[in-house]
Structures are given as structure tokens and as C-alpha cells.
Structure 1
């Protein structure tokens, strides 16, 4: 069996292929900046379906957030190998997975707008990292974490319009102490902050939310896209829930700034899965459509 995984900080999507059959699994996010090898093994072990096929797995291709250096690769590889003891394990970062999913073998830029944000250039074979991807404290412009923080700050400072503030309070039943505890004292503050973007989706046509979206996407463009050298006007492709659910506003801001928008997909896993199987010579007609 071969497994392909695409992991953000919030969620990991898995696809498996064995004797012509496809299997789907989902686990919490696996990010080596927040989890050690033992933590990762525990995440996998909690999924009974994954655990039940562990002995059949011979190859794992893992693409994840935070997996951009050899030491982080090792953390993930060690965590996975303790469960999948008979597997060859390949670990790479989520940007190269997104490039495979959106560009295939064609050159272009790949952008992530999910819990976090990032951008890199892909020449059709290799990915070239820039100076971006600084994480939720120093960067992540236009991400779920960025928008969640803006929502919480506007509510805490009483800057949110009354009708939105009332619904926000009724929806989440939070107060200042609860928010401070979750952001500064509990694990995964980025996931906590990004969880509030569901409120944005609910009220995405409200002028207040529209303005936040404009500011966030403009900051992402200013910080991450405008400095990219692109003489051939190659497309900027996007993956992630923020890009997907708010793509109308994202396209509007990109068009305003002369950014050529390519594919926008919510989850790269299906296209990534097919790309890996094709590369390994395993792609079958029934999964090529």
C-alpha cells in the first residue's frame, strides 16, 4: 500500500492506494513545530483505520506545514516510522505538495492561504523558497490565523458593529480571559485563532467583513506577491480554505494589483495523490479522471 498525506496545522488529509482501491483518512494536523515524534505517533495511533493498515503500508509520501528543514523532516519521519514500521517514508513541505497539485509539471507560483500563508516559485521541477512563510507571530498575512486575530481584536476593543458583535458573543460565548488563555497559555494558538474564520464565512457579505478581507488579502499581496519576479506573467495558484471560501474577494484584490490568478483549490490532496501515483507509475484508469 502507498499513502500520500497533505497536512496543514489544523488537519491532515490522507489517501491510500492498494490493489486498485483508494482509501481516505483524516487526522488532526501534523506540524513538527508543535508536535514531537512521540506526539505524531499518538496522532496516528488514535485513528483506528490508519492503524489497522499500518503493516500493509510500504511507501508514505508526506507533505506538511512546517516541514521545510532536515531536522523537521526527521521529527515527522521518526513519528511515522514508529507506527508504519515497514515503510519507506518521504517527507517534504506543504508548498511543494501544493505546487504538484496546482501546477503539475508546469511553471508557476503556488500560494497557501489556510491556517497559515506562504508563497514560492515552482519551475515545473523544483520549488524555490523565498523569504516568506514566517509563521503566525511574524507573518501569515491573509491567513485564517491573521483574520481570526483581527476579528478577536475588533470584538475585544468594541470595534465590531453591534449586530455582528451580538452574534459573535452568542456564537462563541467567550470573554477576554478565555481568549487570553487560549492564545497565550494553551497549545496551538494559531488553530484557535483560525477557528473564528467560520464567523467570517457566515457574514462574508457584511461590509465590515468585506473590509477585513480586503485589508488582509492586500497585505498578503503587498508582503508576499509584489516582490516576486515574474516577467512571463505566470499564474499564482492558491490552495487552502481561506483562498477557496473567499476567492471572489481574493480575485478582486489580485486583479486590482495585476496578479494573474491561476487555480484555486480548497484541498490539494486529490490532485497531489494522482500526481504522486503517476510519478511512481501506479496511476490506474479508474483514478485518472
Structure 2
């Protein structure tokens, strides 16, 4: 492993840690604001945080470079923003303990949410079947391990699942769709256009979340102030910093390394939930987490 590859892997590891601990921030933020309000503010902050990076990268672009046309960026970014909005909204509501408790539902924990969300890694190649793609043996083995792990982690002996876990599982389907849309849009784009596309999707998600919050939630400035730290972490660190690190790192990282390292996001979510929220996993749940992580990694090692 050369120095550039090692540096890229370290940056990706840092990215996974930031994303994993973001589940803690998302859970804490629900004590003060509604899920849509939380997402509206954090994605707006994240999009604004990417503007300086976009400007700097644009200035460094070679003269005469054939950039992606704005129509493709805005339409594509809008589609990505819609998928992002659906996935993020379901995830955030699934973590909304106080709000779900009012209706008698049980929310997910930060650790469980991290592992369930990570299933999108397995869903992506399975969805590829609809696009006439043929997943390899590793994908099917990984999917099998993930399903068994999901059962041990979230299902009871009576084959019931908490409402929060179910919402996050459905949200993982949208994260997988999000990845597939990127796969269709990104070919031919350089790093500058990739960051522009991401900035547009974050703004689109913020606008949709804001509209949803106006229709369904009571937006209080005091609540936003109380949730300032979780929101800033979710916006600046999870979106702005982590996405920048990912863009820089994946220039030199091997694709398989990148996918495997980023899947450690779920492990950091469980660690964060334990240390910051006193979330404990049963032995059964820990075995489930281990099987799910093994399935995610295996599907990437043998795609």
C-alpha cells in the first residue's frame, strides 16, 4: 500500500466515524425539534458549507474544460434531493423517540439505525436486477447474512419489529435508489461537477424538508437553538466536512477499500450510542450486527 492509498483510507475511516456519530446527533436533536425541521436546517447548513469548496474547485479547473450543463445538474440534483429527502425523513422519524412515543410507537436507537441504514450496500446490487445487471455470488451471500442479522437485531420472537426500525429499513431502500441515480448521473463528471451536484441535492432536500415542517410541525426558534449542537454536527460535520473528505479520499482509494471502510459507519453508530446515549445491545442483537456487517463487507469483497 503506497502513501497516497494509506492517506485515502485514513480519510475514509474518518468519514465513516463522522457519519456514524451523526446518528447520535440525530437522536439527541429529536428532544428539541421535529424531524423535518432538523433535516431542513442541517441540510441547508451542509449545502452552504459546500459552496466555498465548490468555488475553490471551480477556480482550479483547467481552462476550456467541458463541464456538465446546468440543466443536467439541476434536474439530476432535484431527483437526488427527492430520494435523499425520502430516505432522510424516514430515518429521522424512525429516530424520533419523543414524537413516536406520543403515538405509542417505539423509536430505533442510534446503533440499530446505523446497521439498518447500512443495508443499502446490499440493496443496491439487488436493485440492479431491475436494470438487467447480474449480482455475483458475494451479493447473494451478503444479502442472506444481512437478512439473518436484521432478524436477530430488530425482530422479536413473535416476528414483530419496532415502528422506528421499520421506517429506517424502508428508508434504506431510498438510500439504495439514491446510489443508483448517482450511478446514472455521475459518468463523465469531474470532481467539481460532482460537488455541484451534491450541493444542489442538499439544497433540494432542505427545501422539501422545510415545506414538510411548515405543514406538519410547529417550528420554534427556541427549539432550534436548543438543538444547535446536534444540527451543526449534522450539517457541518456530517454533510460539509465528511463529504469533502470522501471526495478527496476517493480520488486515490481503491473502490473495494472505500466501500468496506465506509460501511464501518454502522459500527461507529453503535459505539456512539453506547458511550453517549447509554444504548445497550443484547447478545442476540450484537450477533445480528456482526452478521449484517459481515454481509455488507462480503457483498463488496465479491461483488
TM bin, normalised by shorter chain, reads: under 0.3
Point out the structure with the larger strand share: 1
Alignment TM-score, normalising by the size of structure 1: 0.28
Alignment TM-score, normalising by the size of structure 2: 0.27
Point out the structure with the larger helix share: 2
Relative contact order: is structure 1 or structure 2 higher (C-alpha 8 Å, sep ≥ 6)?
A: 2
